Structure 1
Amino acid sequence: MNPEHRLHVHRYGPDGPVGLLAVHGLTGHGGRWRFVAEHLPDVTIAAPDLIGHGHSSWAAPWSIDANVAALAALLEEAAVGPVPVVAHSFGGAIALHLAAARPDLVDALVLLDPAIGLDGQWMATIAAAMLASPDYPDAAQARAEKEHGAWSDVDPGLLDIELDEHLVTLPSGRFGWRISVPAVMSYWSELARPALLPGSTPTTLVRATRTSPPYVDEALIDGLRAKLGPNFQLIDFDCNHMVDQARPAEAAAVIRAQLVRH
């Protein structure tokens, strides 16, 4: 791991070795997992801010591989043996690469509407839009963007918490998320990388059926099913992209099934 890549880790549940690693999505932060953690009070959860996000290091390089190295170092230090990994969106891409690179650290994967192997032109369009308008004149516009997008079915109270914790006043007086914009620009490109499938790690993929356009395509599902056979499970949730925010209890139940399967 790059020694500059120090992760800020949100921890939930009892003291002790980490029993579950939770990986957030692009432009997010580890604090988002508290709502899932409320339904898993007996599980020791580590939910780091990814590189370039929240209170973690914003130092380059900004890549899936750099995050895999940082997460592997975290698990080597804080866990005893392999643990399940739950991951949302871009976090799903990182989790898949972590399981492929370090199967000794990953007991199972729970992928919540993962984003990987996406169309390169689509990612270029999103990145260009972010580059043109990376911040907001006020908090109301930041909130409206989420309310009318992927957060459309998230409880407004949870969105209030997101703005309180993750929206900051910039030196310009405008408002932006607590993220490194250059890092996120790099990560849009990373999402166009081909999916790296795990060798045999039991994997549950939760597809959000209201995400439009969808992040999960049939090629990823077919690839996981062909590679993992009975170790792969597909579950559909009737929600938008922010699965862990919109359906925290249901997401926790899927995670619990992996925790108790032995």
Structure 2
Amino acid sequence: MVDASTGHQTMHTHLIGSDEPDAPIVVALHGLTGHGKRWQFLAADHLPEVRMIAPDLLGHGSSSWEPPWAIADQVAALSEVIDAHVPAGRRAVVVAHSYGGAVAIRLAHARPDVVSGLVLLDPAQGLDPATAREYAESSLAHWGYPDAAAAAAAKRMEGWENVPPHMLDAEIAEHLAPTDSGTAWRVSAPGAAVAWSEMARPFTLPPADLPTHVVVADRVQPAFVRPDFLTACAEERGSSVTVHHVDTEHMVPFLAPDVTARLVRDLIAQI
């Protein structure tokens, strides 16, 4: 685990998987309220041959909780991570979940020298502003839990019901921290509110001609992957963007890891 910093902001990075110098490189971006170590199960069980660079986004885990927290700030810090961990001349596939998908698209525009393709798992951007406000206000109103059991129960109600129990146990062990009134996820509450605001901005398309897989979790209602985004991808990006549907809730990296690994390998083969 290594830190990379931009200005006063430090991004903590988990280095997972193969140590072979020629191993394929995958940059993995978690979603809102997540952390980089979540990707350990996908790496160990489905992509053992890759070198996975999995940072905690700003405001999450062991990364800086100091503002600003906008997507542009996430991208600036991620660019530092790339410079620190991707050897010169090498390229990397980016796999990203939820809010991480919105960040990944902007990262691809900022670093075309490194990003060779995108796997976007139920990416969240271009959300209805009223819905984003509702989610932000609800999360802030219910921030924190009396104990770990209550935190686990809340996760199961938030799309984790079918996530394997050992993965939820690992989430509790890694990402839950004591507070004065009980316990809470290691996430900046104001930073999370900013992320909901960022996801309400108009969507951004992947760079033209960049191989991109978009995975839609069909059980999520209202959908995070908005129909107008999919229409724009079809009309403006053509065959470079492929859309896939999975019959799961939102936690696609845990619920459809075989699909995720297959799509990552597809893009690795195109480097």
TM band (smaller chain)? over 0.9
Alignment of 1:181-220 (within 5 A): 181-200=189-208, 201-220=210-229
**Post-superposition offset of 1:149:** 2.0
C-alpha displacement of 1:159:
0.7
Paired residue for 2:68? 61
Q: TM-score, normalising length from structure 1? A: 0.95
Q: Cα RMSD over matched residues?
A: 1.5
Q: 1:98 matched to which residue of 2?
A: 107
| Match of residue 246 from structure 2 | 237
Distance in 2, matches of 1:13 and 1:227, equals: 36
Q: CA deviation at 1:102?
A: 2.2
Match of 1:179?
Answer: 187
Match of 1:132 in 2: 141
**Is the contact made by 1:82 and 1:107 (CA closer than 8 Å) also made in structure 2?**
yes
Letter in 1 for 2:28: A
CA distance in 1, matches of 2:259, 2:206: 24
How high is the TM-score relative to the length of structure 2?
0.92
Aligned residue among 148, 158, 162 for 1:149: 158
Task: Name the structure 1 match of 2:25.
Answer: 19
Measure the CA separation in 1 of the matches of 2:206 and 2:217: 21
Residue aligning to 1:77: 84
What letter corresponds to residue 78 of structure 2 in structure 1?
L
* Same amino acid, percent of matched pairs: 42
* Residue type of the alignment partner of 1:195: F
- Give 1:216 deviation, angstroms: 0.7
Change in Cα spacing, 1:210 to 1:146, as seen in structure 2 (3 Å) is same
Partner Cα separation in structure 2 for residue 256 and residue 35 of structure 1: 16
Greater than 6 Å deviation, 4+ residue runs: none
Is this contact kept in 1: 2:32–2:192, CA < 8 A?
A: yes
Matched, 1:9 2:13: yes
Aligned equivalents of 2:84, 2:157: Cα separation in 1: 40
Aligned partners of 2:6 and 2:80 also within 8 Å = no
Whichever residue aligns with residue 116 of structure 1, its letter is Q
Number of equivalent positions: 261
Q: How does 1:108-123 map to 2 (within 5 A)?
A: 108-123=117-132
Q: CA offsets, 1:165-213, max 9 Å, x none?
A: 111111x141100111111111110110111212221110011111122
Larger fraction in strand:
2
Letter in 2 for 1:183: G
Unaligned runs of 5+ in 1: none
Take 1:224 and 1:216, find their aligned partners in 2: how far apart are those partners? 12
Q: Structure 1 counterpart of 2:61, which letter?
A: G
